[in-house]
């Protein structure tokens, strides 16, 4: 894979020119589909509409059913693969119990196959957050069996896809965190059996630091800073998944088109080389890149506006902005940091990149 496989254009976060062997996979939330009306989908090789919601009995609710076929036709007109993603942070609560119930599991498997058949989509993305450990509070989990049950499901889904639609003609992708799927003792050291039935693993290399921790820190570091903030990163995620047996070509490194803002307890401009300071606990919301541009925080791709000052962390390879008057700190990604992740993906032979989410870009 050559570094020139993806190009970034001024004025937008991510404007891709894609070679045949490089995936650029974007998530498109159904609740904000209109915000992406001007997106040039030819820049994406794959787009997943998010999310289908698994119900307790294994049935599937998808709010985009009424327009799904037309969206699929639109994506196919630009030679973009169309998928539906099921689950997500809010709606992963039933995965564990569904896969332990023979009747619910059968209903769920059939629902996935029928969704593909009825709307001509190219595959299914399963975004279970997370097998073996709790994501959103209240999710059902079974550390002993969740990952084993997920593997059995994707094997059966692959068999159904291949028998009904032709071998390899439909896609199965899985979302993954910065560590491989969990077992009873934490992240598993061997998940290689997933590599057969699964086409891509979308690594969510973001939500790594945030207001839930005692200090400020980057949402999506390319590298972590030793002994500061969470000791996870884009790089450590790739290394963990490949060490656990997933070929690098099946990994898509996650790119965040958003960040987090919260109030620092000190003036961070006094020591801009340190991105980690105590904060007050007052979160000031998630900031999409488009909102940073439209609300007077950024005046250009890498330029802060007004009372805001932009810095670039040379260790984590991430930008951040700070307002000295309000002491608000915002961690996010821009064209500079995404270019570094793009180059990393190319130089480490990844299958490509994944974007959360398409609607958060600025044009």
- Give tens-digit pLDDT for 137-158: 999 999 999 999 999 999 999 9
Q: pLDDT digit string (tens) for 172-220? A: 999 999 999 999 999 999 999 999 999 999 999 999 999 899 999 999 9
pLDDT higher for 159 or 1?
159
Average pLDDT over residues 280-303: 93
What's residue 49's pLDDT? Answer: 97
pLDDT greater than 80 at residue 163 = yes
260-331: CATH number: 3.10.50.10
What percent of the chain shows pLDDT beyond 90?
87
Q: pLDDT digit string (tens) for 94-128? A: 999 999 999 999 999 999 999 999 999 999 999 99
3-257+335-360: CATH number: 3.20.20.80
pLDDT greater than 80 at residue 287 = yes
What's residue 363's pLDDT? Answer: 74
The first and second tokens of residue 139, run together, are 């999710």
Average pLDDT over residues 263-288: 94
Average pLDDT over residues 271-280: 96
Average pLDDT over residues 46-74: 96
* Rounded-to-integer distance, Cα 104 and Cα 82, Å: 26
Position 72 confidence tier, pLDDT thresholds 50, 70, 90? very high
What's residue 60's pLDDT? Answer: 98
Whole-structure pTM value: 0.95
pLDDT greater than 60 at residue 8 = no
Position 48 confidence tier, pLDDT thresholds 50, 70, 90? very high
What's residue 14's pLDDT? Answer: 52
Other beta carbons within 10 Å of 245: 15
Domain ranges of the chain: 3-257+335-360, 260-331
């Amino acid at each position: 894979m050559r570094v020139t496989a993806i190009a970034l254009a001024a004025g937008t976060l991510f404007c891709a020119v894609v070679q045949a062997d490089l995936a650029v996979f974007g998530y498109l939330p159904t609740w904000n589909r209109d915000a992406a009306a001007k997106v040039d989908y030819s820049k994406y090789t794959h787009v997943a509409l998010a999310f289908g919601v698994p119900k307790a009995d294994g049935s599937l609710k998808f709010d985009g059913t009424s327009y799904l076929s037309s969206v699929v036709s639109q994506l196919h007109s630009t030679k973009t693969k169309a998928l539906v993603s099921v689950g997500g942070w809010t709606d992963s609560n039933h995965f564990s119990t569904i896969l332990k119930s023979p009747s619910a599991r059968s209903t769920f498997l059939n629902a996935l196959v029928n969704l593909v058949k009825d709307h001509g989509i190219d595959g299914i993305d399963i975004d279970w957050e997370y097998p073996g450990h709790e994501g959103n509070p209240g999710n059902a989990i079974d550390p002993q069996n969740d990952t084993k049950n997920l593997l059995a499901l994707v094997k059966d889904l692959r068999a159904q896809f291949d028998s009904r639609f032709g071998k390899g003609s439909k896609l199965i992708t899985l979302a993954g965190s910065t560590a491989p799927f969990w077992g009873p003792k934490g992240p598993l050291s061997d998940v290689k059996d997933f590599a057969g039935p699964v086409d891509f693993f979308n690594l969510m290399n973001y939500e790594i630091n945030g207001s839930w921790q005692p200090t400020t820190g980057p949402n999506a570091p390319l590298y972590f800073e030793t002994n500061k903030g969470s000791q996870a990163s884009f790089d450590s995620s790739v290394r963990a998944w490949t060490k656990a047996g997933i070929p690098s070509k099946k990994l898509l490194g996650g790119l965040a088109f958003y960040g987090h803002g919260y109030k620092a307890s000190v003036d961070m401009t006094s020591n801009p080389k340190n991105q980690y300071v105590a904060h007050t606990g007052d979160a000031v919301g998630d900031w999409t890149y488009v909102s940073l541009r439209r609300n007077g925080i950024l005046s250009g791709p890498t330029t802060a506006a007004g009372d805001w000052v932009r810095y670039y962390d040379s260790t984590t390879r991430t930008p951040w902005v700070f307002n000295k008057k309000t002491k608000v700190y915002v961690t996010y990604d821009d064209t500079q940091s995404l270019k570094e992740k793009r180059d990393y993906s190319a130089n480490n032979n990844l299958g490509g990149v994944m974007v959360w989410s398409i609607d958060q870009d600025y044009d």
